[in-house]
């Protein structure tokens, strides 16, 4: 599947109103399909197909259904996106690989038909992930930053307020001026294990 396909024709871009009037011209006014297709700029075979569909069932959709082979429907994709955002807020962001595995597990758990390559590799495809990320720009999947468990759990409201209380006491006791305050944070040192 091509991720970034450049259109070479404008087929499939006919507005619904134009297609409906063209079909009505053929069915109600008994005009020739070729003549109507030439006037409206619609492909002859496309118009013929929609005329045949409309004669069998008047309530037929007059626009192509592009998401016929889409694995998850909109509701399921929304659930997946909400889960990924919630996991990210809990400092458990998922990488692209784990997101693809999670999508496959979700498809299997919900008995959704998925491509055979998903079943062989036990993971969703890269093309699916690219399409999903394109449809969900609010998501950002990256490799998780290394943070130790102790550091992640210690960063809570009580500990932060205690730190600032102690800082205020020390500054009040020693009367440190701005010229005597230095930043001695070891920014280049990482003592947490990489995930």
pLDDT in tens, 15-69: 888 888 999 999 889 899 999 999 998 889 989 988 998 888 777 776 666 677 7
Task: Tally Cβ neighbours within 10 Å of residue 30.
Answer: 7
pTM, full prediction? 0.55
Q: Which has the minimum average pLDDT: 55-59, 61-65, 70-74, 143-147?
A: 143-147
Nearest to 1 by CA among 70, 72, 74, 63: 70
Give the whole-number percent of the chain exceeding pLDDT 70: 84
User: Do 37 and 98 have their domain in common?
Assistant: no
pLDDT band at residue 190 using 50, 70 and 90 as cut-offs? low
Q: Residue 1 has what pLDDT? A: 53
Residues of the domain holding 115: 70-171
User: Do 36 and 97 have their domain in common?
Assistant: no
| Residue 15, in any domain of the structure | yes
Cβ pair 44, 37 in contact under 8 A: yes
| Residue 56, in any domain of the structure | yes
How many domains is the chain built from? 2
User: What mean pLDDT comes out for the span 162-167?
Assistant: 88
- Residues 6 or more apart whose Cβ sits within 8 Å of residue 40: 14, 18, 21, 22, 47
User: Do 107 and 24 have their domain in common?
Assistant: no
> Model confidence over 101-119: pLDDT tens digits?
999 999 999 998 888 999 9
Q: Residue 13 has what pLDDT? A: 78
Q: Residue 124 has what pLDDT? A: 93
| Residue 184, in any domain of the structure | no
Q: Residue 117 has what pLDDT? A: 92
| Residue 187, in any domain of the structure | no
Task: Tally Cβ neighbours within 10 Å of residue 23.
Answer: 23
pLDDT at 79 exceeding the cut of 70 = yes
User: What mean pLDDT comes out for the span 132-136?
Assistant: 89
| Residue 113, in any domain of the structure | yes
């Amino acid at each position: 599947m091509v991720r970034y396909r450049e259109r070479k024709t404008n087929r499939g871009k006919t507005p619904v109103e134009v297609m409906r009037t063209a079909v009505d011209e053929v069915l109600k006014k008994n005009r020739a399909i070729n003549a109507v297709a030439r006037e409206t700029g619609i492909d002859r075979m496309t118009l013929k197909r929609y005329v045949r569909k409309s004669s069998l069932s008047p309530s037929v959709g007059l626009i192509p259904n592009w998401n016929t082979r889409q694995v998850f429907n909109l509701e399921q994709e929304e659930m997946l996106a909400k889960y990924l955002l919630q996991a990210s807020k809990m400092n458990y962001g998922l990488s692209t690989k784990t997101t693809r595995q999670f999508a496959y597990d979700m498809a299997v758990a919900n008995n959704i038909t998925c491509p055979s390559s998903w079943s062989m590799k036990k993971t969703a495809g890269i093309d699916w992930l690219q399409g999903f990320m394109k449809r969900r720009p609010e998501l950002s999947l990256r490799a998780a930053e290394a943070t130790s468990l102790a550091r992640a759990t210690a960063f809570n409201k009580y500990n932060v307020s205690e730190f600032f209380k102690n800082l205020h006491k020390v500054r009040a006791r020693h009367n440190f001026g701005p010229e005597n305050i230095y930043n001695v944070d070891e920014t280049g040192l990482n003592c947490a294990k990489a995930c």
